[in-house]
Amino acid sequence: MRNITILLSTCSLISSTLYAQTTDKPNIIMFLVDDMGWQDTSVPFFEDNRTLLNERYHTPNMERLAQMGVRFTEAYACAISSPTRCSLMSGMNAARHKVTNWTLELNQKTDESSDVIKLPEWHYNGIQPAESNINNSTPITSFPQLLKENGYRTIHCGKAHFGARTTPGENPLNMGFDVNIAGGANGAPGSYLGTRNFGEGSRFAVKGLEKYYGQDIFITEALTREALKEIDQSVEMNKPFYLYMSHYAVHTPYDEDKRFSSNYRDKYDKQLKAILDEKEVKYAALVEGMDKSLGDILDYLNSHPQIAQNTIILFMSDNGGLALNHARQGIENRDANAPARAGKGSAFMGGVREPMMVYWPGITKGNSICHQKVIIEDFFPTILEMAGIKNYTTKQTIDGVSFVDALKNPDNLKERTLIWHFPNLWGETQNKEEGYGAYSAILKEDYHLIYTWETQKLRLYHIKNDIGEQQDLASQHPEIVKQLSKEMSDYLRARSAQRPSMKTTGKIIPYPDEL
C-alpha cells in the first residue's frame, strides 16, 4: 500500500512539473474566426443590447470568455480575408501593404473584371519573409518572428491565406512559426469533412491533416486536437507559446456539422419570422462547432491552472459575415449582420465590424465592455507589448496602435481614426449601392465616409445614430465631408496607395479631396 502511495505521489509530482511553466513571459492565444459576423453569437456586441441574431446562436464558450474578460463594441477588420491577415501579421494598414484582395495562385489576380475601371497593380502574391524579393508582394518582419526571436514557441493552426501558392509566404514556417498545422495558400477548406479528406484533390484542399483522412471528424475538431497537443509540447519544453488558432470555420462551404445541426433544424427564428432553412442550419452549426473549439481550449486551461494564470486569449473575426442570398437566408445585405448593413466585401459596417474579446489574467476585469475603436493592425504592437517585447525593428512601417491601455482602463477612450482601402473588385458581387466594388472609407468619431472610386461618389453616415447606415448625410454636412475627404486622401497619399483608373480616358481616378 505504501508503494502505491509513493507511486501516486511521484506521478502527481511529474504531472505538476510538466504543467508548471517557470517562464515569466505570458502564453498568448490568438483565436481568429473566418467570416464570422459581429452578431453570429449569443454574446451581444452591439453596445450591451441583445439582438434577435444573438438569440439564434448558441455560443456558451464565447459567453464564458466574455465573463472572464472584456468585450469590444467597436472592433474592425478589412472586409476581405487576405488583407486582414496581412495586416495582422505585419501591423500595416492595407493601403500600405497593398495586399488589398484575396490571394491564391502565383502572379494571378482574383478581381472581377470591369468595363468601366482598370484596377491598379496590387500585391496579389501576398506578404513574404523580410529577405524575399518577389514581384507584387510585400516583405515584412512578422510579429510571430519577433516572438520566436524572444524565446516563444510559435504555433500556426488552421487557415493562413497570406501568401500566394509556391511562394515562401504561403508556408507559415517561413513567416515566423515553429509549427504549421494545416496552413497554406488556400482561403477556404475544400471540405470540412474527414470522410472527404478535407477536400483532397480540390483547389482548396487542406493539407497537413492526413492522419484524419477517412474519419468521421469535422476539421474544426481536428485542428483543436492538434493545437492542444502543441500546447502540451510547449509546456513540456518549458517555453512560452504563441498559438494562432486560425479556424477555417465559418467560411463556405457550409458542410453539415452533425454534432450541432439538430440544435437548429426546424427552429423558428424570430428575426426571419420563418423556420431556418438548411443553409442557415448548417451555418449556425458551424458557429457552434467553432465555439466548442474555444470551449475545449478553455477547458484545457481550467484543468491546468498554472498555465491558465499565465495565458492571454484574444478573440477576433477576419471580416464581416457573408450577406448574400446564395449563402444566407433572409433579405440580402440586411438580415445577416443586422442591425448593420451589408456584409463581407462591403464598406458598410456589416463588412468590417467584428466580434472581439480579450482575457488577460490579472489585467482585464471580467464581464467588462470597452468602446475603444480597434482595427486589425493594432494586434501587432499589442501582442508584442503583452509579451514584454519593447525593443524591436521591422522591415515595414507599423500603422497599428497598441490597445493595451484600453485593456487596463476600458473607460479611458482615445480617439482613433480608421481607414480602409480596397481599390479592387470582389468576385461575388459588384453592388456599389451596398458598398461593394472599389472603395475607400474613413471612420472618425461617429462619422463614416465611404468613397466609391468608379462613381466618385461620397456617402456619409453617423453610425451611433444610424448603425444600419440608411441615411446619407453628405448633402447635410458638406464641411464634414470635406474634412474627412482630406484626411482620408492624405492618409492614402502618405502610403502611396494605388488607385484605379477610368478605361475611357486612361486617367487615374482622383482622390476624394480632388473632386
Buried b (16+ CB within 10 A) or exposed e, 333-345: bbbbbbbbbbbbb
- Residue 15, pLDDT score: 43
Q: How many CA atoms lie within 13 A of 226 on its CB side?
A: 25
Superfamily of domain 24-411: Alkaline Phosphatase, subunit A (3.40.720.10)
What torsion, rounded to 10 degrees, do the Cα atoms 323, 44, 467, 80 define? -40
| DSSP class of 509 | P
- The contacts of residue 65 (CB under 8 Å, 6+ apart) are 294, 298, 313, 315, 357, 359
Q: Grid coordinates in use for 413?
A: 477612450
pLDDT tens across 328-356, in order?
999 999 999 999 999 999 999 999 999 99
Rounded-to-integer distance, Cα 51 and Cα 338, Å:
8
Amino acid 22: pLDDT: 74
Q: Give the confidence band of 403 by pLDDT, cuts at 50, 70, 90.
A: very high
pLDDT of the residue at 20: 61
Helix H or strand E encompassing 138? strand 138-140
Tell me the average pLDDT across 27-52: 96
Cell of 22: 517557470
- In this structure, what DSSP letter does residue 514 have? G
pTM of the model: 0.95
Q: What b/e string do you get for 218-250 counting C-beta neighbours within 10 Å, with b at 16 or more?
A: bbbbbbbebbbebbbebbeeebbbbbbbbbbbb
Q: What are phi and psi of 38, to 5 degrees?
A: -70, -15
H/E stretch holding 490 reads: helix 478-494
What is the reported pLDDT for 19? 56
With bands split at pLDDT 50, 70 and 90, how would you rate the model's confidence at 460?
very high
Ordered by start, the domain boundaries in the chain are: 24-411
Helices (H), 269-366: 278-303, 305-308, 349-352
Query: How far, in Å, are 57, 94, 276 from residue 261 at the CA level?
Result: 11, 37, 11
Rounded CA separation 52/35 (Å): 19
pLDDT digit string (tens) for 299-319? 999 999 999 999 999 999 999
Q: Render pLDDT for 134-150 as a digit per residue (tens, 0 to 9).
A: 999 999 999 999 999 99
How far apart CA 513 and CA 511 sit, in angstroms, is 6
- Give tens-digit pLDDT for 67-80: 999 999 999 999 99
pLDDT at 1 over 60: no
**Which residues touch 208 (CB under 8 Å, ≥6 apart)?**
180, 181, 182, 183, 184
pLDDT tens, 404-427?
999 999 999 999 999 999 999 999
* Mean pLDDT calculated for residue range 198-204: 96
The pLDDT of residue 6 is 38
